[in-house]
Structure 1
Amino acid sequence: MADLSKSIAAIKDSRPPTTDRFTYLTILESHMSPEILPTLNDILQDADLTQEIGWDLIEMLLPLPGCETCLETIARVGNPREVILKVLEALDNIQHEEEEQTDGEEDKPSSTERSGPTQQFITLLGMLAILHRRLKTKYPSRFLGNTLQTVHRAYRPNQEMTAAVINLVHSLTGQRARPPLPTRKSSVNVANPDQNGDASKNAPDPEAEKDGREDPDESALQERLLLSFVTCILEAYVNKNDIAWAQRLLEFYNPTKIVPGRMSAMQAFREDQELLARDAVVGQLAALTSDLGLTEASDTFIKTLVQGPMNNDPLGETDDLSSPEDIALSTGGSISLLAYWIFSSTVFDANHPTPAMHIFPEHFALLEQLLQDDAHAQIRSAPGTIASLVALGLWLEENKLISATGPPAADDEKTKSATAAVAENNNPSGDFMTYHHLLTLVAVYHPSLAVRNAAGSLAGAILHDDPVVDDRLRILEDLLENCMFTNLKACAVTWLREELLAALSSSTSAGSGAGSTPGNNIFATPDALDTVQYAVFPSLGFLKEADQTSLAEYWIANAAFLIQAANFALFLWRGDGRLEHLVPEGMDAAVGERWAEPLLAAAQRYLRDVREGEDGRGEMEVGILAERLERLRGTEGFGGLERKGSREV
C-alpha cells in the first residue's frame, strides 16, 4: 500500500507544468500499474493535458488489465487526429505480435477465448468509433479509408473481433444504422463505449476546420468505404469459419439422402451453439450491407462482379478517391453475400434479393475468374469463397437457370426448357466441359469433404444438363481416360450409369437433353459403352506379377475407382436386364478375361498373404472388391470368371 500511495502521489504531484511533458511521461511509465489507473483516469479529465500526452499513453496503457476506462477518456478528450494515428499504430503492432505468436502453431484457440490481442483489438476499435465521430473536417473519408485498411489488416475472424467490427460500423453509420437485432444466447457481445458511454464528455476537435462542414460528396464516399470494408470482413469470416451453405443446400434439396442416425449439417446448425453463433454473425454482416445501401442484386452489381477484376484487397486502393464508384467491393465477400441471400431465401424463406444469374455465363465466369491461375492454391487460400460459389451453383442448377435466354418453364418442363435454351443460344459445347472441369477441381482440392461432395454432385448434375449428348459422352471419356484422381473416375462411372438409365426414359427426361430420342441418344445404343469400356475395365494382366507391396500401393491408389467399376459390372450383368441391349456383343467375355479375372486373382492372393502376416494396407477395400467380383461368377458368358471361378473358390 505504501508503494501504491507513493506512485499515486508521484503522478499527481509531477503533472505539468511542474514537469515538462517528456519527464511526466517517464514518471508515468515508471509507476504504471493497474492499481493507479483510477487516479490516472481522474488526471486525464484535464483536456489540455490529455491533448498533449494522451496519444503517447496508448502503447503504455494497452497491455494493462482495466485500461479501457483510461483509453476511453483519451479517445473522448485527446486530440482525435493524433490519437487515431497512435491507435492505428497499435493495431498494426497487435497484428505483428499475433503473427509471431501463432507462426507455426497448429492448435487454434477456441472462438470464445479472448486472447490479449483480441481484447486489445476490441478496446482500440471502441476508441476509433469515438474518435471518428469527434473529427470535424471537410474530408473525413481520408481518415476513414486509412482506418478501415488498418482494421482489416489487424482483424482475425473470431467471434469477438467480428462483434467489435460490427459495433464500429454501427457507430460510423450514425443515424443510418438499424436498431440492434434481437439477442440470441449464441450471440457474442463486446463493449461498445461509443454507444454505451457518455458522449457529453467528448471534447471539441481542437483542429476543427473553420467552417466545420463536410464536402457534399463525403456521405456517399464514407458509406461506400464502409460497404467495401464489410464485404472484406465477410470474406475473411466465411473463409475461416465453415458456414456449410453448400452442404446444407444439398441436404435441403435431397432430404432422402441424409444418412439416418447421423447428425446432418442442417441439424447441427440448429443445435450447436458455436454454429448458431456463426450464422448469427454472418446475418449481422449481411444486414450491415443492406444498411449501407446494397439492397438488391442489381444488374450493375452482378456485371461488375462477373467481369472482374478480382478484388481481394479493395481497401488498399482508397488514397485518392473522387467518387463512390472508385471504391470496389471484395469479390469473395460479394460472392459470399449472394450465397447468404439465396441460402436464407431457400431454406428459411427469408426476404432477400434473388440474383439474376445463370450457370452460363455468370457462374461459369466467376469460377474461371477464381480458378484460372493456380486452382489448388486459390481453393486452399479461399475455401469459404469457393464453398459459397458451389452453393450458388447448386441453387442455379436446382432452379434450372442454365443459360441466360429466359426463365425456365415450371415443374417437369424445367429441364427440357433450360437445355433447349442453351442449344438455341448456340452456347459452345466446350463451355460445359470447361465448367465441369473447374467443378471437379473443387471436388478434388477443397479441404472440406462436405464441399468436395457438393461440388461433385453439382458436376454430375451439370453433366446431365449438357444438351449435346455427344459432349456428355466426351466429358465422361476424358475423365475416365485422363483423370489422375480415382475418386473423380469413380464419379464418372456413376454418371455413366445415370446417363444409361436416363436414356431409357422419355425424351423429355432431364438426362436425355432437349429433343433427344432413343434413336439419336448415343447412351441408348451399345456405342456409349463401346467407347468407354477400356477406360472403365482396362487390362489388368500386370497384377499377376505384382508383389505384395506393389499390390498394397495399387489398392490404396485405385480402391474407389475399382469398387465403383465392380459395382457397375454388377449393374450391367447382374441387374434386372433392362440394359442388356446396351452392352456391345462380346464385351462381357472380354471384360471378364482382361479385367475381372486378373483383378479377382490379385485380390484373393493379397488377402491370403495378409492373413499370413503380410502388409495389410487397404485390406477392407480389397475385401469389398473381392466380394463384388465373386458375385459376378457364373454370369453367362462372363469370360475368365466363368471358366476358372469354380477352381479358385
Structure 2
Amino acid sequence: MADPDTRSPLLKALPPETDYITYLTIIEYNLTQENLPILHQVLQDETLAVNIGWDLVHLLVPFLPESHQCLQDISRLGNPREVILKVTESLRLIEYEALDEDEDLDRSVDALLEGASASRAMAEASTYPARTAATSMSGDTAGGSQMTEVPPPLPLAIEQFIALLSMLATLHPRIKTEYPSRFLSTTLQAILASFSNAVSHRDEMVLAIIKTIKSISGVQRPMLPSRKSSGMMSTIEKAKAQSASDGDSTATADLAPEEKAMQQRLLQSFVTHVIEEYLLNLPPETEDVPGMAWCSRVMEKSQPERTIPGSKSMADRFQSEESLHSRVDVVGQLASLAHDLKLGDEALLAAIIAVEKVPVEGGQDEDDPPESAKDIPLSRAGSMLLLAARQVSTVLYHASSKASSAAAGEPDFDIFPDHQELLRHCLSSPAHGTGTLGTEPEALIDATLALGLICLENNAIGQPASDEQFNEYLQVVALLSSNCPSPSLRGHAHYLASTILRSQPNDKARLAFIRDTLEHCPFENLKVSAVGWIKGETIEANPRTPVAGHHSHSSDHDNSSIFATSLALDSLAPYLFPSLETDLLRSPIPAAWQTFQLNVSFYLASLNLLYLLLCAKHLHLNLEVADMWKDNDVAASFLQPLRDASKRFGRALGAGGELAEEKTDGVVAELGLLDETVGRVTGAVRFLNE
C-alpha cells in the first residue's frame, strides 16, 4: 500500500513538477493543520525555502502553534532579507483586540481535547514542557517521578508575537551586510508597535522580546529564572539545525565601528522604550499599588518603624501575589539586559534632561534610518524608570547600580540640582503652565519620588542655588502630595516635601514657603500640610524646657529661630485663622456649603494649632499669643463664624432643608467633630488670662 503522504498535493506538485509560483498557490489552497508535518519535510530543501519561504509566512502564522516548526524552517533556510520584511509586516498586523475571555476559554478547551494529537504534541514540544514530563527522582524505580505542571496555552495573537520574534532571533544573525542596522531599526520599530497594541499577557511578551534581543546582540548571560506559576516559559529556542548563509551577502569584512555603535544604540534605545511601554500601561490593581511601588518598598526597607504593625507590607505583597511578583521578574530582566548592553547611568541622566529637538521642515523623514548613533534618542520616561530600578535595587537588594564599564565615572546624584532637574523634565511642572501635575502615570510618579527618597536616605540633599530654586522644588513635590490619585504616593510626596523643607537651614526661607503655601495654594490638603509644618517648627523652636546646647535650624546661631518669636505667627495668622463670615454666613447656603466642604480639613487643622497655642503656656510670652488673638480678632472672625456655620448647615441638612439630600452619617459626624473642636478651643481661651 502506498504511503498516504505521497498522495499529498504538497509532495506531488513539488518543483520541478511545477514552477515555484504555481507550487505556492497549491500550498495556499491545500494547507491544513494535518499536512503541516509534510510542509515541514519539504521545506528542508534550501532552494525551495529560498524561493517560496517569505511568501509562506502570512499563510503559516494563523496555524500557530502547530506551524512553529515550518516558520523556523523558513527563518533558517529562507532568504533572510525577504523573510524579515514579511515577519515585521506580520507583527504589525496582529489583531490583539480579538483577545477576549471567550476566545481564551475556547483555546484552553481545544488544547485539552487535542492534547493527544501528534501535531499538537510536536508543536508544544518546542514551546512548553511536555504535559507528561517526569522529574526523575530515583532512576527507573516505581514512584520515582512526578508530573510537571504545564501552563495553559496562550491566546493566538500572543503565540503569533512570540513565534515571529523567534524567527527574528534566527534571521538577524544570518544577515551579512555592510549596514545591518537598517534591518535592525525596522525590526525594533515593528516589535515595539506590535507590543504597544497588546492588552494582556504582556509579561510573556516582554520575556520573548528579551530573549530575541539577547540573540540578536550576542549577549550570553542566561535569563533569570522566573516562578513556575507565573506562566512565563521559555518560548524562543535557538534552532538546533544549521542555518543557511546569506546568499545576498555583500559584506567582506568586520563591521565598521560606527555601524557597531549604531546597532548598540538602537538596542539601548529599544530597551528604554519597552520598559516605558510596559510600566506606564500596567493593569490597575484593586488596591493602591502604583507601578512597582518603589516608594513604599524603599520606605519599608529603610524605615521599618513607619510600617503599621499587623498590616501586610508592600514587600510581602510583591513576594506573595503572582501578578506583582511577575512585575519584579520582568523589570529585573529588562534592567539586566540594559546592563549587558552597556547602558550606563550617565547616559540615562542625559536622556532624561535632554531638550527635545524640533524637527526641521523638509528634513529627514521619521521612517528613514538614523545616520549615526547620536541621532538615536533614548526614551525620556523609560530612562527615568530604568534609572529608578537601578537605584532602588541598591536599597532593596544591596546591588550596584553602576554599569561595570563606567562605574568609576558615574556622577553623584543629589536632590539639588539632580532630582530637581528630573522633576522638571519628567513631570508636568507648574512652570510649564500645563496644570496637570500629579495626573501623570502613577508608575512614573512612583519612580520619580523613589529617587528623591533614596537621596534622603543617603543624605544627598545638595545645595540649592537660590531660594527660588528651593521653593520651586518644594512647590512641585507639595503639589504632588495634593494632586496624586494614589493615597500612598500623596503620603510619600508629603514626607519628601516636609523633609526637604526641614533641611533648609535658613528659617526665614522656610517661613516664606509656608506663608506662600497658605496664602496662594488652592488645594485644601496642601494647606493642611502647611499648618502641620508651622506646628512642627513652633514646637521645635520653643521647647518646654530649654535643652543645653540646643540650636535651631537658623544659619545664624547667635540669634534665635524666627519661629521662637512672634514674627512668624504674626505673619501667618491672617492665613491660619482667616475671616470666614462672608464665605460661610453671608453666601447662599449651596455656595457656603461647597466652600465649607472644600476647606473643613484646613479649618480643623487650624483649630488644633490654635488649641496648642492656647494650652501651651510657655509659648504665650515668646510668641505673644494674646496679642495675636486680639489683633486678628480670632474669636469673632474665625471661631464664631465656624460655630454659627455649623448651626446653619445643621438646619439646612434637616428634613425639607436646602441641603437635605447632602445628609449622610459622615457629614453629621464631620459637623459634630467641628463643634467639639470649636468647643475645646473656646474653653482653652481662659489660659490667656492666667
Equivalent in the alignment of 2:207: 163
Per-residue Cα deviation, 1:389-447 (whole angstroms, up to 9, x for no partner): 211111113333222xxxxxxxxxxxxxxxxx65xxxx211001111122233334434
Cα distance change of structure 1 residues 569 and 39 upon mapping to structure 2, 3 Å threshold:
farther
Contact map agreement 2:551 2:557 (CA 8 A) in 1 = no
Equivalent in the alignment of 2:599: 558
Structure-2 separation of matches of 1:33 and 1:376: 58
Contact map agreement 2:179 2:259 (CA 8 A) in 1 = yes
Contact map agreement 1:164 1:190 (CA 8 A) in 2 = no
User: Alignment partner for residue 122 of structure 1, among 142, 162, 187?
Assistant: 162
Equivalent in the alignment of 1:44: 43
Higher helix content, 1 or 2: 1
Letter of the 1:386 partner, please give it. I
Per-residue Cα deviation, 1:27-54 (whole angstroms, up to 9, x for no partner): 3333343333222222322222222222
Equivalent in the alignment of 1:77: 77
Structure-2 separation of matches of 1:330 and 1:39: 46
Structure-2 separation of matches of 1:378 and 1:60: 48
**Is 2:494 the counterpart of 1:456?**
yes
**Is 2:642 the counterpart of 1:599?**
yes
Equivalent in the alignment of 1:504: 542
Per-residue Cα deviation, 1:557-613 (whole angstroms, up to 9, x for no partner): 223323322332333234575576325434335223211222133224434554647
**Is 2:623 the counterpart of 1:582?**
yes
**Is 2:370 the counterpart of 1:320?**
yes
How far did residue 164 of structure 1 move? 0.9
Equivalent in the alignment of 1:410: none
User: Alignment partner for residue 152 of structure 1, among 192, 203, 224?
Assistant: 192
Structure 1 vs Structure 2 CA RMSD: 3.4
User: Alignment partner for residue 443 of structure 1, among 481, 496, 499?
Assistant: 481
How far did residue 637 of structure 1 move? 4.8
Contact map agreement 2:75 2:170 (CA 8 A) in 1 = yes
Letter of the 2:555 partner, please give it. A
**Is 2:261 the counterpart of 1:220?**
yes
Structure-2 separation of matches of 1:459 and 1:574: 29
Structure-2 separation of matches of 1:312 and 1:62: 40
Contact map agreement 1:440 1:488 (CA 8 A) in 2 = yes
Per-residue Cα deviation, 1:46-93 (whole angstroms, up to 9, x for no partner): 222222222222222222242322222211121111111111111222
Structure 1 runs not aligned, ≥5 long: 103-110, 404-420, 643-649
Cα distance change of structure 1 residues 206 and 27 upon mapping to structure 2, 3 Å threshold:
same
Letter of the 1:166 partner, please give it. I
Structure-2 separation of matches of 1:484 and 1:214: 60
Structure-2 separation of matches of 1:247 and 1:180: 27
Structure-2 separation of matches of 1:626 and 1:256: 35
Of residues 567-576 and 476-485 in structure 1, the stretch that sits farther from structure 2 once superposed is: 567-576
SS in 1 for 2:252: coil
Equivalent in the alignment of 1:260: 309
**Is 2:490 the counterpart of 1:484?**
no
**Is 2:432 the counterpart of 1:432?**
no
**Is 2:348 the counterpart of 1:289?**
no
Of residues 284-293 and 507-516 in structure 1, the stretch that sits farther from structure 2 once superposed is: 507-516
User: Alignment partner for residue 537 of structure 1, among 573, 577, 591?
Assistant: 577
SS in 1 for 2:62: coil
Letter of the 2:293 partner, please give it. A
Structure-1 separation of matches of 2:516 and 2:57: 63
SS in 2 for 1:243: coil
Contact map agreement 1:604 1:626 (CA 8 A) in 2 = no
User: Alignment partner for residue 627 of structure 1, among 660, 676, 679?
Assistant: 676
Equivalent in the alignment of 2:217: 173
- Aligned runs of 1:197-208 on 2, under 5 Å? 197-198=239-240, 200-208=241-249
Contact map agreement 2:352 2:383 (CA 8 A) in 1 = no
Per-residue Cα deviation, 1:280-334 (whole angstroms, up to 9, x for no partner): 221111111221123x535xx3762464125999x96882334x44433322222
Contact map agreement 1:310 1:331 (CA 8 A) in 2 = no
How far did residue 183 of structure 1 move? 4.1
SS in 2 for 1:349: coil
Equivalent in the alignment of 2:90: 90
- Aligned runs of 1:288-367 on 2, under 5 Å? 288-294=337-343, 297-298=345-346, 301=347, 304-305=350-351, 307-310=353-356, 319-322=369-372, 324-353=373-402, 356-367=412-423
Of residues 155-164 and 366-375 in structure 1, the stretch that sits farther from structure 2 once superposed is: 366-375
Letter of the 1:138 partner, please give it. E
Contact map agreement 2:619 2:625 (CA 8 A) in 1 = no
Structure-2 separation of matches of 1:122 and 1:508: 68
Structure-1 separation of matches of 2:57 and 2:551: 65
Cα distance change of structure 1 residues 222 and 360 upon mapping to structure 2, 3 Å threshold:
same
Letter of the 1:616 partner, please give it. K
How far did residue 469 of structure 1 move? 2.1
User: Alignment partner for residue 292 of structure 2, among 243, 256, 271?
Assistant: 243
Structure-1 separation of matches of 2:422 and 2:96: 33
Letter of the 1:304 partner, please give it. A
Cα distance change of structure 1 residues 179 and 595 upon mapping to structure 2, 3 Å threshold:
same
Cα distance change of structure 1 residues 216 and 348 upon mapping to structure 2, 3 Å threshold:
closer
Of residues 8-17 and 219-228 in structure 1, the stretch that sits farther from structure 2 once superposed is: 8-17
Contact map agreement 2:206 2:330 (CA 8 A) in 1 = yes
Contact map agreement 1:360 1:402 (CA 8 A) in 2 = yes
Of residues 451-460 and 583-592 in structure 1, the stretch that sits farther from structure 2 once superposed is: 583-592
User: Alignment partner for residue 509 of structure 2, among 471, 485, 488?
Assistant: 471
Contact map agreement 1:376 1:445 (CA 8 A) in 2 = no
TM-score, with length taken from structure 2: 0.78
Structure-1 separation of matches of 2:153 and 2:11: 37
How far did residue 150 of structure 1 move? 2.0
Structure-2 separation of matches of 1:187 and 1:363: 35
Cα distance change of structure 1 residues 379 and 238 upon mapping to structure 2, 3 Å threshold:
farther
Cα distance change of structure 1 residues 42 and 432 upon mapping to structure 2, 3 Å threshold:
same
How far did residue 121 of structure 1 move? 1.6
TM-score, with length taken from structure 1: 0.82
Cα distance change of structure 1 residues 159 and 7 upon mapping to structure 2, 3 Å threshold:
farther
Letter of the 1:628 partner, please give it. T
Contact map agreement 2:352 2:384 (CA 8 A) in 1 = no
SS in 2 for 1:585: helix
Contact map agreement 2:165 2:208 (CA 8 A) in 1 = yes
Cα distance change of structure 1 residues 492 and 362 upon mapping to structure 2, 3 Å threshold:
same
Contact map agreement 2:370 2:376 (CA 8 A) in 1 = no
Cα distance change of structure 1 residues 554 and 36 upon mapping to structure 2, 3 Å threshold:
farther
User: Alignment partner for residue 180 of structure 2, among 136, 140, 158?
Assistant: 140
Letter of the 1:563 partner, please give it. L
Letter of the 2:638 partner, please give it. W
Equivalent in the alignment of 1:413: none
Contact map agreement 1:380 1:445 (CA 8 A) in 2 = yes
Structure-1 separation of matches of 2:477 and 2:93: 40
Letter of the 1:473 partner, please give it. L
How far did residue 209 of structure 1 move? 1.9
SS in 1 for 2:377: coil
Structure-1 separation of matches of 2:466 and 2:153: 52
Structure-1 separation of matches of 2:268 and 2:312: 37
